[in-house]
Amino acid sequence: MLMGPLSRTGRRVASVALAAAGVLVAGAGTAVPAPAAPLHPHERQRSWGLADCTAATCHFDVPPGTYDVRVVLGGDAASRTAIGGETRRALLPETAAGSGERVVRSFTVDVRTPEGEPTGADGTPGLDLAVGGAAPALAGIRVTPARHARQILLIGDSTVCDQPVDPYTGWGQRLPRYLRRGVSVANHADSGESTVSYLADQRLWGTVRPLIRPGDLVLVQLAHNDKTTDADTYRSNLQALVRGVRAQGGRPVLVTPIVRRWFNADGTLDNDTALLVNGLGVDHPAVVRSVATDARVPLIDLTARTKALVESLGVEGSKALYLTDDKRDNTHTSAYGADVYAGLVRDALAARDLLPARYLRP
């Protein structure tokens, strides 16, 4: 629940103070001056205040852009609070605060239209946050336009995207929870896309490419839907994506696809279905590795990492990672599996020195 003097009414809490308003509302319910900051053009049109939060949600009438969110967590009793937002994104992991303790956390969020999959519905305008966790207690919150934030753009398929409907969850949907303030995740992955369709659709590559800024990381994981793509075309498409990212000044990172949960009788993963070798004999992970080597592009070998994990867990233990029980689906991950796989991506970003350690959350 939201804590503060207004929480006793069960309705409103001290919640948001933006640079335009110059106020931070703390858990004790006292408005205190916040450091002034240059006004974003749209902040001159409206300042946000207490009415922007209810007991479990906050809505901020902001235009598309990148925003820093600073939250104060805790209350009179011990609490555990997590923050999600937009299209089921995980933005802050469950965070504990002791009785009477206040814990401050910050993160950076991408606000865009469409807010989820690029070919999906527009979603709700502005920034929507959800307050959750085992015992939630939000004592204060402040949202400001991000200044000079780094950006990670994601290009991928349904195993990566911001899935709109539970229980489907892409690993890109959970990646923000592993990042601190100063880095946003702009997830432009889209269900059903191959390298062929992603390049051809103006809503996808045609939209993403102009958004790439110098120095941005652009992670590319496309393979699951390249079932009829021959090896030469697949290779050429990956190379085109790499060239396009570099032409914008971005930093391409090739990501091999997560495995499908298809086992052989001996407990190893099936060499074709699980490891994404298509009907034409194209070994997608092998081609990705080859392109990364030839083009001198950083590689996150998510196929190898997820294969090792799934095989170590075995037939039964690995079920929790996928939608096996819910949907008889051994390709798409559960929220838990997406959390785990996003953690593997976080580990790879650290291991490859693609992001400074100060931006990475445990």
Tokens of 211: 């958004």
Residues 217 and 294 in one domain: yes
Residues 203 and 348 in one domain: yes
Residues near 219 by beta carbon (within 8 Å), at least 6 away in sequence: 152, 153, 154, 155, 156, 253, 255, 300, 345
Please indicate, yes or no, if residue 182 is contained in any of the structural domains: yes
pLDDT (tens, 9 = 90+) of the chain, 362 residues, equals: 444 333 333 333 333 333 333 223 333 332 233 333 444 444 443 434 446 888 799 999 999 999 999 999 999 999 999 999 999 999 999 999 999 999 999 999 999 999 999 999 999 999 999 999 999 999 999 999 999 899 999 999 999 999 999 999 999 999 999 999 999 999 999 999 999 999 999 999 999 999 999 999 999 999 999 999 999 999 999 999 999 999 999 999 999 999 999 999 999 999 999 999 999 999 999 999 999 999 999 999 999 999 999 999 999 999 999 999 999 999 999 999 999 999 999 999 999 999 999 999 99
Phi, psi of 112 (to 5 degrees): -150, 170
CB atoms within 10 A of CB 99: 10
Please indicate, yes or no, if residue 40 is contained in any of the structural domains: no
How long, in residues, is the chain?
362
Final residue of a structural domain among 145, 180, 210: 145
Q: How many domains does the chain have?
A: 2
pTM confidence score: 0.87
What amino acid is encoded at 332 in this protein? H
Cα separation, 11 vs 176, whole angstroms: 29
Final residue of a structural domain among 80, 111, 145: 145
- Please report, for residues 12, 83, 297, 347, the alpha-carbon distance to residue 103 in angstroms, rounded to integers and kept in the order given: 20, 14, 39, 25
Please indicate, yes or no, if residue 93 is contained in any of the structural domains: yes
CATH code of 132's domain? 2.60.120
Please indicate, yes or no, if residue 41 is contained in any of the structural domains: no
Residues 302 and 169 in one domain: yes
Q: Which domain holds residue 74?
A: 5-34+46-145
Residues 310 and 175 in one domain: yes
CATH code of 350's domain? 3.40.50.1110
Residues near 168 by beta carbon (within 8 Å), at least 6 away in sequence: 158, 323, 332
**Strand 251-255 to strand 217-221: parallel, antiparallel, or no bridges (unpaired)?**
parallel
Is the separation of the CB atoms in 272 and 260 below 8 Å? no
Residues 57 and 84 in one domain: yes
**Strand 127-135 to strand 79-85: parallel, antiparallel, or no bridges (unpaired)?**
antiparallel
Residues 195 and 303 in one domain: yes
Residues 281 and 337 in one domain: yes
User: Which pLDDT score, from 0 to 100, does residue 51 have?
Assistant: 64
Is the separation of the CB atoms in 173 and 37 below 8 Å? no
* DSSP codes of every residue in 269-332: BPTTTTTTB-TT--BHHHHHHHHHHHHT--EE-HHHHHHHHHHHHHHHHGGGGEEHHHHSEEEE
Nearest to 224 by CA among 255, 267, 194, 180: 194
Residues 130 and 61 in one domain: yes
Residues 155 and 171 in one domain: yes
Residues 244 and 318 in one domain: yes
